[in-house]
Amino acid sequence: MLDRRHFLKSSTTLAAGLYLSPALLQARNKIAASDKIRVALIGANNMGFGILRHHLALPEVDCVAICDVDQNVLERRISEVETATGKKPEAYSDFRKLLEKTDLDAVIIGTPDHWHCMIAVAACQAGKDVYVEKPMANTIGECDLMVNAKNRYQRIMQVGQQQRSGQAFIESRDLVKSGYLGKIRKVNIWSNFNYGLGNLVKPPQEIPEGVNYDFWLGPAPQRDFNPNRFHGSWRHFWDYGGGLMSDWGVHLLDMAIWVEEQPAVPSRVLTYAANVNMENRDRDTFDTMNVLYPKKDFLINYDMNGGLQTGPYGKPYGIGYVAEKGTLVVNRGGYEIYPEWDGEAKAPKIEAKKLEGMKESHNAHVANFVECIKTRNQPICPPEDGRIAALHAHIPNIAARVGAEELIWEEEKRTFKGNMAANELIWPNYREPWVLPKL
């Protein structure tokens, strides 16, 4: 019999669609219906469908429904899943109708960020477990609502910060926390990506056929349709996302938080932000940011550059744990330790270590979620941890939006100290008839 690890490796994702190996299909057919985990996908265009692929790589998982407001996407994804598994998921254009299904254990939320909270809370209220993409919500207040919903309705909720399931990051965390590097002085983080510039400006267009654009906007403000605000590039606008900071920043900052003795939201944040490249770009968010987070254990220094692709150590993105005996540099490909030199001993202070050839870890993160659905154990990234990472992204974004070089977050009061403009951005203003969930 093939084990779980073999299944994770034997399922192959093809650019043209979804492919499951014959061995995996055979094993899926041997699992009793009573032992199946029935999942549904809400938001099926990009990352959501990628996460569904990893769910279907596990033989005990069936996809019973898919929901999307773009009928073109919905029909394509339904067909791909039916072709790959032999079972046709039900099609929905309204997540609320999908959540009425009784033969459903969990939902995957792959929508733009501004939808995460409403759908996650509704799913918890309907008795469904939740896998939600990062950042877990588009505002600080919505993060609190999601944590409260998970606890009140006793659901399993996994936030898609999959680096917590990656070998390179797990080993790096263990090396840091074991004291191998000595005392950590600071954690340097950088993320340089071309797409952080946003798209070139385009004029408004007609709504594509088959798209329920009003539903896609949902609680966000009414806007004319523009492809720059739609599939793939919506994250460059505050209505729906937080730019490169909340896309990559939340992943990388999470890895700095993970090695704190007692991970916590930042109380003091110093921010520089600007749009340096103004070449006819369509975006609200910033292409350039530097953020300092003075923490109890060490300083976190985040450096972000949209439109650039090179960075320290020859890596476009990464994390450097700077310590007294050496610096550990890690990204999704692996890690390397650069020892400090001991002048008296005429030798490195620690042994150099290296791990190479790592791949992305969505599969392991999804497998952890599915296992927790069965055991009811805490997943590796519950919403409490997702909230901490999200606030590390939201607070500097808020600071940049209101022109504040420094913000002080008062965690017990859930407010910013002495900054009314920043406090107005803690909660979203939902467009009627949508209403912010109440718990």
Which among 71, 66, 93, 43 has a CA at the least distance from the CA of 211? 71
Looking at the DSSP bridge assignments, the partners of residue 200 are 281
Q: CA neighbours within 13 Å on the CB side: how many for 44?
A: 32
pLDDT digits (tens, 9 = 90+) for 261-283: 999 999 999 999 999 987 889 99
3-state SS class at 46: coil
Q: Which residues of the chain have pLDDT under 70?
A: 1-17
Q: List the beta bridge partners of residue 193.
A: 306
Q: For residue 254, give both structure tokens.
A: 């999470």
Residues forming a β-bridge with 331: 334
Q: With beta carbons less than 8 A apart as the criterion, state whether 42 and 109 touch.
A: yes
Amino acid 7: pLDDT:
39
Domains of the chain: 4-163+370-382 (3.40.50.720), 166-359+386-423 (3.30.360.10)
Please give the helix or strand (H or E) that residue 119 lies within, else none. Answer: helix 116-125
**Pair of tokens at residue 299:** 């300083």
Strands laid side by side in the 106-109 sheet: 90-92, 61-67, 37-42, 106-109, 129-132, 157-159
Helix, strand, coil % over all residues of the chain, rounded to 5: 35, 25, 40
- What residues have CB less than 8 Å from 14, skipping those under 6 apart? none
- Classify the C-alpha dihedral 172-176-177-180 as positive or negative: positive
pLDDT of residue 3: 44
